[in-house]
Structure 1
């Protein structure tokens, strides 16, 4: 790959280990209610409620807290808890979720490497600024990127082409000069390529790319090489 002028990165499950933290939050929630559920089933149910409620958040019909209250009210109802208290459930989940906050291996290192190589960087995430900026600041990643674009900052969420173009505009580069990096094939690879960017897929299971011609890395430490960058 010809080295890019800019790299745009997803946040959750690309730099920040959201899956780990979500599972920790759900364990705290089910334990608080005395539930002995299959953790994988709870995770799948939670993800389904998240997908159903996120559009309300994106349209501004709910704020982040209201979306959580609705999500956990629905989840606990789904798990058989009668008359669940969504407010209390939100506090329980968020306490366990935040206590488990962690970055994926190599997250800070790869941002330092990109900066050392003179590459400008942005975060492009399909979630609200209130939450995502807090995560970045908590780990000091906010000082290592040139722009942060959350759902409020773009005309539409990924994989809409306008989201990637907004990130390119924030970095003053053309789409062809930028590479999108992330763990979601739909949101971080296919959508970006359709918008005229190149992409690198972060596949931590080392699964092959669904389509040929897309560089794939299993570790963030391997990203600079996949981008064609030589780090001194």
Structure 2
């Protein structure tokens, strides 16, 4: 597959560009600390209620961007613990979560070099990601990647999480390219790879430990 055939790179965010688990753990710890101090409830009890709320939200909203909402997780957690909806505390706790999450976020190795090479080659870069648009935009901004990104498509906008083909169709329409003209780069075989392949999009899977140390644009274009 040569240079003339590939005109765009689709790329995932979470666990592709940075370590999601590290950031999520930092956010949860900060929330549990905050709520424990605010409500005088043991952190272990808060964590248990949070995890139950998370599972319930995922079950009720399966396949939707809102299934990842920390706001809903925290709301459900606090309603279980207090038998009320403590509005101000829910709002504050969600802000605490995302501040700690964003404070922890950092790029995996060699990603900047990879994105610079895409820009230099004149290819379009499209971020394709689950979760809500506002949060994912903030991650891109925090990582200072907005200058490299031409388009963003979230599962909130597309109406469903990967591996739904809908999110890839929206991305193709935005950048005006065909499946044969793009490559999807991601970390998750079930979501990133399976979803892209539904439309015949070529895929590249990254190793979370190595990041982009062994992935180059020239290698992708060479096929």
Shorter-chain TM-score tier: 0.7 to 0.9
Deviation at residue 171 of structure 1 after TM alignment: 2.0
Does structure 1 residue 227 correspond to structure 2 residue 203? no
2:16 and 2:211 in contact (8 A); partners too: no
One of 196, 199, 208 as aligned partner of 1:204: 208
One of 33, 58, 62 as aligned partner of 1:51: 58
Runs of 4+ in structure 1 over 6 Å off: 41-44
Deviation at residue 94 of structure 1 after TM alignment: 2.5
Task: Provide the TM-score with structure 1 as the length reference.
Answer: 0.74
Does structure 1 residue 35 correspond to structure 2 residue 43? yes
Number of the residue aligned with 2:198:
194
Number of the residue aligned with 2:39:
none
Distance 2:98 2:141 in 1: 17
Does structure 1 residue 153 correspond to structure 2 residue 120? no
Does structure 1 residue 163 correspond to structure 2 residue 167? yes
1:171-190 mapped onto 2 (5 Å cutoff): 171-190=175-194
Distance 1:48 1:226 in 2: 40
Distance 1:43 1:203 in 2: 30
Mean alpha-carbon deviation: is it higher for 184-193 or for 42-51? 42-51
Gaps of 5+ in 1: 206-217
Number of the residue aligned with 1:140:
144
**More helix by proportion, 1 or 2?**
2
Distance 1:164 1:203 in 2: 22
Larger RCO: 1 or 2 (CA < 8 Å, sep 6+) = 2
Equivalent residues, number: 209
Gaps of 5+ in 2: 37-41
